[in-house]
């Protein structure tokens, strides 16, 4: 075994020990976020709690309200010239869902990011031979809405970061689950009210348009690729049965495995929106969210290193092809992966509950989740060490990142 290999093993042990030594503070951090669920862009308490956490940990430079009201940044760097310094990013999410609190476990995402960063710092600050590194923690709000990471990308918050890590609670350990491109859209129909019984013929029914739109999209599914998704709700359907609705509103999420396919689905969906207006005589407004979520650009080398580290800690990565191929969601982390190579693995939290259910909310706040959360943080920090101490590994990552980006560009440009 080479000296470097021995050094890597020692530093990985340090990471794990330092995370375990900080487990009480980390658990309190996660519990405080979990017990005060806040919606996208309204995560003021979570922001303040995380800023306080890093402020009280020595050595961090903390920027509160970093480019966004509820975003933050905490940085720590070893000495040495900035030229050779690798900037390793860890992301924290902390927004909850309406009505069901932290049913996606974002309190645990925050804990994983904080734990991995604290663990990596503790391992390196004591290292005899300096490893030039900057550790950057970014608090990224509003993943469940239009994507705070995308807003932060636009503001240049990821400039200078060489590789980025986060992890997402799930019902199993997975180095990757399909994370697809998504664009959210609001459809508004305008009609004309009248008395629904006395002279309905004099009205223009916006609810009819909403129902036709819903049904148009429901039949479109038969002509969609099986890995595309169209799903939504009628947010406003009318005021009273005897008033022909003159305003209705629907919200839909349109999803495709790659960002290149999304325009194709959007064109088909828009025909469904507009034909419902034509059929009823309504007018229609189609409003897309300001941010489109991209699919995750995968870097297999990062996934391989993470899986190797996770297995040494006992992570049991699923091999269920149905899960690995079909159980997809979306995340604004996808947009980050087109700017910075990164991984977004999933981790078991001690429950078989499904994300976005009340049962998952309970699981995300359960003490039982702590072991799995900290184990994942250790695996992320250990993977960062692999890159820091093995430049050839980072070169492989960058080479692969360049290749997959080029491949995506060709697909997006129809080349
Ligand atoms: N793969 C991570 C899934 C997290 C999640 O549930 N994200 C939301 C994002 C919605 C943004 N409009 C989703 O519905 O996939």
Question: Hey, whose CA ends up nearest to atom 6 of ligand 1?
Answer: 329
Task: Please state the atom number of ligand 1 nearest to the C-alpha of residue 330.
Answer: 15
Residue of 294, 331, 361, 364 with the most ligand 1 atoms within 8 Å of its CB, for mutation? 331
Give the distance from CA 74 to its chain's centroid: 19
3-state secondary structure of 375: helix
Cα–Cα distance list, 182 to 75, 80, 95, 129, 170 (Å): 31, 42, 19, 45, 20
State the Cα–Cα distance between residues 95 and 145, nearest whole angstrom.
9
State the Cα–Cα distance between residues 3 and 332, nearest whole angstrom.
40
Radius of gyration, CA atoms only, the chain: 24
State the Cα–Cα distance between residues 95 and 414, nearest whole angstrom.
36
What spacing in Å lies between the alpha carbon of 104 and ligand 1's midpoint? Answer: 9
ipTM of the complex: 0.96
Does ligand 1 lie within 6 Å of residue 168's CB atom?
Answer: yes
* Average pLDDT score over the chain: 95
- Determine if the pTM surpasses 0.95: no
Select from 288, 323, 357 the last residue of a domain: 288
pLDDT per residue over 130-183, tens digit each? 678 999 999 999 999 989 999 999 999 999 999 999 999 999 999 999 999 999
Mean pLDDT of all residues in 280-290: 98
What spacing in Å lies between the alpha carbon of 355 and ligand 1's midpoint? Answer: 10
Does ligand 1 lie within 6 Å of residue 331's CB atom?
Answer: yes
Beta strands across the sheet bearing 181-190: 229-236, 247-256, 181-190, 283-288
Task: Tell whether 20 and 134 lie within a shared domain.
Answer: yes
Closest among 336, 333, 341 to 396, alpha carbons compared: 341
Query: Which CATH number fits the domain that encloses residue 18?
Result: 3.40.630.10
State the Cα–Cα distance between residues 392 and 92, nearest whole angstrom.
28
Say what the pLDDT of residue 129 is.
Answer: 66
Task: Tell whether 169 and 187 lie within a shared domain.
Answer: no
Task: Tell whether 282 and 366 lie within a shared domain.
Answer: no
Say what the pLDDT of residue 415 is.
Answer: 54
State the Cα–Cα distance between residues 128 and 137, nearest whole angstrom.
24
Neighbours of 98 (CB within 10 A): 10
Task: Please state the atom number of ligand 1 nearest to the C-alpha of residue 147.
Answer: 11
Residue of 103, 105, 106, 143 with the most ligand 1 atoms within 8 Å of its CB, for mutation? 143
Task: Tell whether 317 and 403 lie within a shared domain.
Answer: yes
Tell how strand 86-92 and strand 133-139 pair up: parallel
What spacing in Å lies between the alpha carbon of 156 and ligand 1's midpoint? Answer: 23
3-state secondary structure of 256: strand
Does ligand 1 lie within 6 Å of residue 144's CB atom?
Answer: yes
Structure tokens of 232? 């939504």
Say what the pLDDT of residue 328 is.
Answer: 84
Select from 239, 261, 288 the last residue of a domain: 288
Tell how strand 168-170 and strand 181-190 pair up: unpaired
Task: Tell whether 45 and 141 lie within a shared domain.
Answer: yes
Contact 115, 161 (CB under 8 A): no
Which range marks the domain in which residue 231 is found? Answer: 181-288
Structure tokens of 319? 């091999």
* End-to-end Cα, the chain, rounded Å: 47
- 69 pLDDT more than 70: yes
State the Cα–Cα distance between residues 93 and 328, nearest whole angstrom.
19
Task: Tell whether 174 and 56 lie within a shared domain.
Answer: yes
Task: Please state the atom number of ligand 1 nearest to the C-alpha of residue 178.
Answer: 1
Strand partners, 62: 74
What spacing in Å lies between the alpha carbon of 122 and ligand 1's midpoint? Answer: 32
Structure tokens of 131? 């490893």
Task: Tell whether 362 and 284 lie within a shared domain.
Answer: no
Residue of 253, 329, 334 with the most ligand 1 atoms within 8 Å of its CB, for mutation? 329
Structure tokens of 156? 């240049």
Task: Please state the atom number of ligand 1 nearest to the C-alpha of residue 355.
Answer: 6
- 3 pLDDT more than 80: yes
- 408 pLDDT more than 60: yes
How large a percentage of the chain has pLDDT more than 70?
A: 98
pLDDT per residue over 203-214, tens digit each? 999 999 999 999
Task: Tell whether 92 and 7 lie within a shared domain.
Answer: yes
Task: Tell whether 303 and 410 lie within a shared domain.
Answer: yes
What spacing in Å lies between the alpha carbon of 328 and ligand 1's midpoint? Answer: 9
Query: Which CATH number fits the domain that encloses residue 267?
Result: 3.30.70.360
What spacing in Å lies between the alpha carbon of 77 and ligand 1's midpoint? Answer: 32
Select from 256, 288, 320 the last residue of a domain: 288
Structure tokens of 214? 């819903």
Residue that has been written with the tokens 């997959």 in this structure: 404
Does ligand 1 lie within 6 Å of residue 179's CB atom?
Answer: yes
Residue 169: exposed, middle, or buried by beta-carbon count in 10 A (0-12, 13-18, 19+)?
Answer: buried
- 318 pLDDT more than 80: yes
- 22 pLDDT more than 70: yes
Say what the pLDDT of residue 80 is.
Answer: 62
User: How many domains does the structure of the chain reveal?
Assistant: 2
Mean pLDDT of all residues in 214-222: 98
3-state secondary structure of 261: coil
Closest among 297, 295, 293, 304 to 403, alpha carbons compared: 297
Task: Tell whether 55 and 123 lie within a shared domain.
Answer: yes
Task: Please state the atom number of ligand 1 nearest to the C-alpha of residue 253.
Answer: 12
Task: Tell whether 256 and 127 lie within a shared domain.
Answer: no
Mean pLDDT of all residues in 29-34: 98
Say what the pLDDT of residue 395 is.
Answer: 96
Tell how strand 247-256 and strand 181-190 pair up: antiparallel
Question: Residue ranges of the alpha helices (H) in 236-328?
Answer: 262-280, 300-312, 321-326
How large a percentage of the chain has pLDDT more than 90?
A: 91
- 368 pLDDT more than 80: yes
Mean pLDDT of all residues in 312-333: 93
Task: Tell whether 380 and 367 lie within a shared domain.
Answer: yes
Mean pLDDT of all residues in 40-46: 98
Does ligand 1 lie within 6 Å of residue 330's CB atom?
Answer: yes
């Amino acid at each position: 075994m080479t000296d470097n290999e021995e050094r890597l093993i020692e530093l990985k042990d340090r990471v794990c020990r330092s995370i375990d030594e900080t487990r009480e503070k980390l658990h309190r951090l996660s519990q405080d976020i979990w017990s005060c669920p806040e919606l996208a862009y309204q995560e003021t308490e979570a922001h303040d709690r995380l800023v306080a956490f890093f402020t009280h940990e020595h050595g961090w430079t903390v920027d509160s309200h970093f480019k966004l009201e509820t975003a933050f940044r905490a940085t720590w760097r070893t000495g040495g010239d900035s030229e050779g310094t690798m900037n390793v990013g860890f992301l924290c999410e902390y927004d909850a869902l309406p009505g069901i609190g932290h049913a996606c476990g974002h309190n645990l995402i925050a804990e994983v990011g904080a734990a991995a960063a604290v663990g990596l710092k503790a391992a390196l600050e004591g290292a005899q031979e300096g490893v030039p590194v900057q550790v950057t923690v970014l608090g990224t709000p509003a993943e469940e809405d239009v994507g705070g990471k995308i807003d932060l990308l636009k503001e240049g918050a990821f400039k200078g970061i060489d590789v980025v890590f986060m992890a997402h609670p799930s019902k199993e350990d997975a180095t990757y689950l399909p994370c697809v491109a998504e664009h959210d859209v609001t459809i508004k129909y305008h009609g004309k009210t009248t008395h629904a019984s006395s002279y309905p013929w004099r009205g223009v029914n916006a609810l009819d348009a909403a129902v036709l739109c819903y049904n148009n999209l429901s039949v479109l599914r038969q002509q969609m690729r099986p890995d595309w998704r169209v799903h939504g709700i009628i947010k406003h359907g009318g005021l009273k049965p005897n008033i022909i609705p003159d305003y209705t509103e629907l919200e839909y999420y349109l999803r495709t495995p790659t960002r290149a396919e999304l325009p194709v689905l959007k064109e088909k969906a828009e025909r469904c929106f507009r034909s419902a207006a034509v059929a009823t005589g309504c007018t229609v407004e189609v409003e897309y969210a300001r941010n489109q979520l991209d699919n995750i650009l995968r870097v297999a080398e990062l996934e391989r290193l993470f899986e190797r580290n996770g297995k040494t800690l006992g992570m049991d990565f699923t091999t269920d092809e149905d899960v690995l191929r079909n159980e997809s969601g979306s995340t604004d982390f996808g947009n980050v992966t087109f700017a910075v190579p990164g991984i977004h693995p999933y981790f078991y939290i001690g429950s078989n509950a499904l994300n976005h259910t009340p049962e998952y909310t309970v699981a995300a706040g359960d003490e039982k989740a702590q072991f799995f959360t900290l184990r994942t943080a250790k695996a992320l920090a250990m993977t960062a060490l692999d890159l820091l101490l093995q430049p050839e590994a980072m070169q492989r990552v960058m080479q692969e990142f360049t290749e997959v980006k080029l491949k995506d560009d060709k697909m997006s440009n129809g080349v």
